[in-house]
Amino acid sequence: MALSELRGDEQGIILGQLWNPLEPRLAVYLSSANKELRLLLTPALRQQSWADHTAAAALCRKVGFPSCKELREAKVVHCFGKCLSAADLTTLGTLGSVLPALESLAICEFSVGVGAAGHDGVQWLAEGLVVGALPAVRFVFFNTVYMGDAGASAFAAALDQGALPQLEKLCLINTAIGDAALVALAPALRRRSALELNFRCNPLGDEGLAALVAPPLPAGALPPPTGGLKLKTLDLSHTKVSDAGCTALAAALHSGALPALEELMLDGIPASAVAKVAAACKARDTLLFASHLEEFGFESGSESDENEDEEGGD
C-alpha cells in the first residue's frame, strides 16, 4: 500500500516510528523522498527534532559515550557520580525505546542532593518510558537516586505499560522508598516473574513488605492463582522491618507464597533476633541463609543436626 493511501494519522504514526533522536537522519531522508511524509515533517517538527537530537547527543557525552551511535549500540550504561539533571533523566527515559541492545542500566549518585538526580530522579526517568521501552534490560540499579511515592507510582505505571519486559534484577538502594512507595510499586512487581529485589537502606517497613509478599484480598475477590510470587532474592537489609513484618514474611514462606525464593537478607533491621530467625527457619531448607543464621549462633550442618544423624545411624 502506498503512503498516499494512508490517513494522515497513520502517516504520522509511521513518521513517529521512524524518528530516532539518536539517529534523526533516517526520518529526514525518507521524508525528502516522500511527499506525504515531507508535508508531515513541518519546520516546527524539524526544529523540535533537532532540539531532541542535541539533548540526546549532550547526554551521550555526559555519560561517557563519544557518539550517539555508541549509546545506541551499548549493552551497558553505568552512570556513577555524573550529577544527572532533571533534563538528563527525562531525555534518558525518552530514549528507552531506541536502545534495543541495552541490558544493564545503573545510576548512582555519591550523595543525596548531588545533582538533580538526588530529587525525583526516578520519576523523571520513569515518566519517559513508553510501551516496550528498554526491551532487553535485565538489570536496573539505582543508588541514592530519589524515588519516593511519586517515583514509585511512575515506575510501576511504566512496568504495567510494558516497559522493561525482560527485567530480572531491580536494585533500589537508598532511594527513599517508604511504605507508601512500596505499596504503590508492589502490584507491578508481583506481576513479574523470577525477580531479584534489593531494597537495602530504605525507610520501608512492615506495611510495604506485607503489600509485596502477602497483600490482603479485596472483599469478595477470588484467591490468587497458585504458584505464589516468583521472587528469587529479597534484600531488606537496613530497612525498618520489625517483628510484625518478619511474622508476615514467615507466614508467606510457610504458606508457599514465595516458592522461588533462594536468598533473603535481613541485616540491620529493628526486628528482634527471634523474629528474624523465625522468618529464616520457615524456609531453612531452601534459602541461602547460612551467613545470617550464623549471626544468631546457627550453622549449616550444625552440631545438633550431626548428632541427630549419628543417632539415626545407630
Quick check: 191 and 162 in contact, CB under 8 A? no
State the CATH class of domain 195-213+229-308.
alpha beta
Q: Are 93 and 128 in contact (CB under 8 A)?
A: yes
Residue 131: band (very low, low, confident or very high) from pLDDT cuts 50, 70, 90:
confident
- From residue 22, give the alpha-carbon distance in Å to each of 67, 97, 267, 286: 9, 11, 43, 46
Please state the length of the chain.
Answer: 314
Grid coordinates belonging to 244:
510484625
Determine if residue 227 is left, alpha or beta; phi over 0 gives left, psi from -120 to 50 gives alpha, anything else beta: left
What residues form DSSP beta bridges with 76? Answer: 104
- Over residues 70-98, the pLDDT tens digits come to 999 999 999 998 888 888 999 999 999 88
Backbone angles phi, psi at 257, to 5 degrees: -75, -10
Count the alpha carbons within 13 Å of 286 in the hemisphere toward its beta carbon.
Answer: 14
With 0-12 / 13-18 / 19 or more C-beta atoms within 10 angstroms meaning exposed / middle / buried, residue 292 is: buried
**What SS3 state is found at 173?**
strand
- Give residue-wise pLDDT tens across range 179-205: 999 999 999 998 887 899 999 999 999
Q: How many CB atoms within 10 Å of residue 105? A: 22
Residues above pLDDT 90, as percent of the chain: 47
The answer to whether 204 and 235 have CB atoms below 8 angstroms apart is: no
Of 48, 44, 40, the residue nearest 9 (C-alpha):
40
Checking if the pLDDT of 259 tops 50, the result is yes
**Identity of the amino acid at 156:** A
Predicted confidence at residue 161, as pLDDT, reads 92
Instruction: Give the SS3 label for residue 28.
Output: helix
- Using alpha carbons, select from 208, 188, 191 the residue that is nearest to residue 248: 208
* Amino acid making up residue 193: S
The tens digit of pLDDT for each residue in 261-307 reads 888 999 999 999 999 988 877 755 445 443 444 444 444 444 444 44
Stated pTM of the model: 0.78
C-alpha distances (whole Å) from 37 to each of 24, 28, 31, 304 are: 14, 9, 5, 77
Q: Counting Cβ atoms within 10 Å, is residue 21 exposed (0-12), middle (13-18) or buried (19+)?
A: buried
**Segments making up each domain of the chain, as ranges:** 1-63, 74-176, 195-213+229-308
30 vs 16: CA distance, rounded Å: 12
For 73, phi and psi rounded to 5 degrees? -100, 0
Average pLDDT, the chain: 79
